[in-house]
Structure 1
Amino acid sequence: MTPPALLLVGHGTRDEAGAAAFRSFVAQLGAAQPGLPVGGGFIELSPPPLADAVAALAGAGVRDFAAVPLVLVSAGHAKGDIPAALAREKERHPGTSFAYGRPLGPHPGLLAVLERRVDQALAGADRADATVLLVGRGSTDPDANAEVFKAARLLWEGRGYAGVETAFVSLAEPSVPAGLDRCRRLGARTVVVLPYFLFSGVLPDRVREQAALWAAGQGGEADVRCADVIGAEPELAELVMERYREAVRGDLRMNCDSCVYRVAMPGFEDRVGLPQQPHHHPDDPSHPHGGHTHAHTH
């Protein structure tokens, strides 16, 4: 009996190298899992569209899918856009079923990769003199931003860094320059700017550019080093398979304790109970949303 297909879902990027890294990762997973149908697509910006990935698997006879969102935090894309896209695919392909897995999160395996990236940037320099600035994408969802702070704290614990601070490259504060200012005021000797992203893209590039510009403004007095993104490491592949198995078993364990659609968080009280309105994705060949809403049911 063929197991449910593993369907990797990415947001998409205008950076071709980042999109190629996603496609290569999907291919690697497929090669490493003989007998398991594996596919992947994006909800916008990059080929292949999710609709094409589902159509290819459905055309090969797949009827059951377990979708894993290839995102680090549970923000609007994971909570609304991807579930809405999967609902459209279910309508396009009658008789199919879709289980939905949880985002990757600050898993110990990914923290180990982040630690390696910091070590590579330090190139033998003492960890005790290094402050790490973990830079996330940023979101209008406070729960998603809080997950980045959680990752930063977990990265700090037991690894011997002088400290781990947090910043965001878009939509949330503190910004990259503000985060670097904070590191300087705290007495950081060396700062490793660590992009909290899976693959290369426009935003990780922006993180590096902003860090370099800030360092240049310090007159050469600041030792600022930029680490690489997580990348297609074995730990990432293992975590994706863990999320796949959870989805197949129905063991999702979603965190709803601080979700603004369920809990009256200060400043976001008006969102409680609201239906989600996923934004239009021009690369999806489906009909426009046409005013349909999708309830937040994670």
Structure 2
Amino acid sequence: MTDPQALLVVGHGTRSTAGVAEFTAFIDRLKRRTPTAFPAVEGGFIELSDPPVTDAAGALATTGHLDMVAVPLVLVAAGHGKGDIPAALLRETVRHPGMTYRYGRPLGPHPVLLDLVAARVDATDDGTPRDDVHVLLVGRGSTDPDANAEITKVARLLWEGRGWAGVETAFISLADPAVPAGLERLRRLGARRIVVAPYFLFSGILPDRVVEQTRAYAADHPELAVTVADVIGDCEELADLVEERYAEAIAGDIRMNCDTCVYRVALPGFGHRVGQPQRPHSHPADGAHDHGDHHHDHGDHGDHHGHDDHHHDHAPAAPQATTPDSSLGRR
């Protein structure tokens, strides 16, 4: 590889037009940093919405940017960050001979994200002192226990030193406790003022569901003051963090947690997932995929399958161009 490399930002995708617009605006924000920070920037999704990652990678390749850094625009290393995105990137190296990439790590947890979430919570301020406010941090939820544990870690980091009465964790999909259960726990702990903080980058079906479930719970408990904070959103601080992940990938400073990775370690109840073969995610705009293969509809995501590709020596084998749906194995 030769420095500097182009930046390829890979998002999950959403059926929300507002979420796609926010992602697009964020990519435009990063593009305004060229050529000082990056020689070129493109962004795409692995599923659900356009542009697909194959278009973004192709746009870089056709303009001569075959060496790139791919930064997963995800908050935790679950199935999409560990496998779906790397598998899609490996497929692009088949489509574009000579293409090479370095894979950055997920965005969180990071102090920048903690500060942004705290700012969104503070923006709901009704004058109640922080030590009388409880926060419910709501993550996406995953069948990867390591990813769910990361959300709990973020909640604890958000609580430490910031003066709130307490910070609890809930999930909107695939993991417990659900949002109503999290709110009920806070009520039983004595909370009277609760701010629900969706731990999401942009708008989407799942953040909307957080709002709906919170409003339903609040309507049944008029004695409580319950509000929902905004998602993190398109902002300069988030762009700074992506630039940081880009820089550390170029420097080779990629430090990821493998000690509790479900695809390396036989965690209780998940032993069958160690060494599980993987394949790229399905995207309707990518003609190489069988649209009915392995992905089920879970609203904005299907984190029911995960993968491990955060170390190159354990990366999925490159897919064969003539068999686009073949399973991607690992050593």
TM-score where L is the length of structure 1: 0.95
Partner of 2:258: 256
Q: Secondary structure at the match of 1:280?
A: coil
Counterpart of 2:110 in structure 1 is 107
- How many residues get paired? 295
1:86 aligned onto 2:89: yes
The one-letter amino acid paired with 1:23 is T
Secondary structure class of the residue paired with 1:151:
helix
Aligned alpha-carbon RMSD (Å): 1.4
* Matching of residues 1-298 of structure 1 within 5 Å: 3-35=4-36, 36-218=39-221, 220-288=222-290, 289-295=324-330
Query: How far apart are the structure 1 equivalents of 2:130 and 2:289?
Result: 53
Aligned-residue sequence identity (percent) comes to 63
Q: Secondary structure at the match of 2:124?
A: helix
**Aligned residues of 2:87 and 2:279 also touching (Cα < 8 A):** no
Deviation at 1:2, TM superposition (A): 6.4
Contact 2:46 2:282 in 1 (8 A): no
1:155, CA displacement in angstroms? 0.2
Contact in 2 for aligned 1:43/1:283 (Cα 8 Å): no
Q: Deviations over 1:172-222 (max 9, x none)?
A: 00000000000001101111000000001111000000000011112x111
Query: Residue type of the partner of 1:52?
Result: D
Q: CA deviation at 1:291?
A: 3.3
Question: In structure 1, what is the Cα distance between the partners aligned to 2:231 and 2:327?
Answer: 36
Aligned-pair CA distance for 1:278? 4.3
Runs of 4+ in 1 over 6 A off after TM superposition: none
Deviation at 1:250, TM superposition (A): 1.9
Please list every run of 5 or more consecutive structure 2 residues that lacks an aligned counterpart in the other structure.
291-323
**More displaced stretch, 276-285 vs 264-273:** 276-285
Report the 3-state secondary structure (helix = DSSP H, G, I; strand = E; otherwise coil) of the residue aligned with 1:122: coil
What is the alpha-carbon distance in structure 2 between the residues aligned to residue 42 and residue 171 of structure 1? Answer: 21
Q: Following the alignment from structure 1 to structure 2, what is the Cα–Cα distance between the partners of residues 193 and 164?
A: 10
Q: For residue 212 of structure 2, what is the amino acid of its counterpart? A: E
* Greater RCO structure (CA 8 Å; 6+ sep): 2
Report the 3-state secondary structure (helix = DSSP H, G, I; strand = E; otherwise coil) of the residue aligned with 2:275. Answer: coil
- Distance in structure 2 (CA, Å) of the matches to 1:3 and 1:124: 48
Quote the offset at 1:124 in angstroms.
3.0
**Residues 106-131 of structure 1: per-residue CA shift (max 9 Å, x gap):** 20011011111111112432111000
Q: CA deviation at 1:287?
A: 4.6
The code of the aligned residue for 2:34 comes to: Q
- Asked if the contact 1:122–1:225 (Cα under 8 Å) also holds between the matched residues in 2, the reply is no
**TM-score, normalised by the number of residues in structure 2:** 0.86
